[in-house]
Amino acid sequence: MAIVVKLDELLHARRMTLTDLSDRIGITLANLSILKTGKAKAMRFSTLEAICMELDCQPGDLLAFETER
């Protein structure tokens, strides 16, 4: 089972780069990159809130649960 982060798709849909998002929400590019590539083991609610506010989305738009078969 895996939680999948769909940050890349949301950024693409909004024609925004990871660098743009980093600058707008004050989270380092390195930390956002770890999140985007699915290597993050945890995320603070404050980070989730900042991303959702900037991208005008819901947490469910950013995260998905997929079973591994």
List of domains in the chain: 2-66 (1.10.260.40)
pLDDT digits (tens, 9 = 90+) for 16-30: 999 999 999 999 999
CA dihedral 34, 22, 61, 47 (to 10 degrees): 80
pTM over 0.75: yes
pLDDT digits (tens, 9 = 90+) for 6-62: 999 999 999 999 999 999 999 999 999 999 998 999 999 999 999 999 999 999 999
The residues, any chain, with a CB within 8 Å of residue 66's CB and separated by 6 or more, are 1, 2, 3, 4
CB count within 10 Å of CB 5 equals: 19
Cα distance between residue 66 and residue 52, in whole Å: 21
Instruction: Please answer whether residues 42 and 34 qualify as being in contact, where contact means their C-beta atoms are separated by less than 8 angstroms.
Output: no
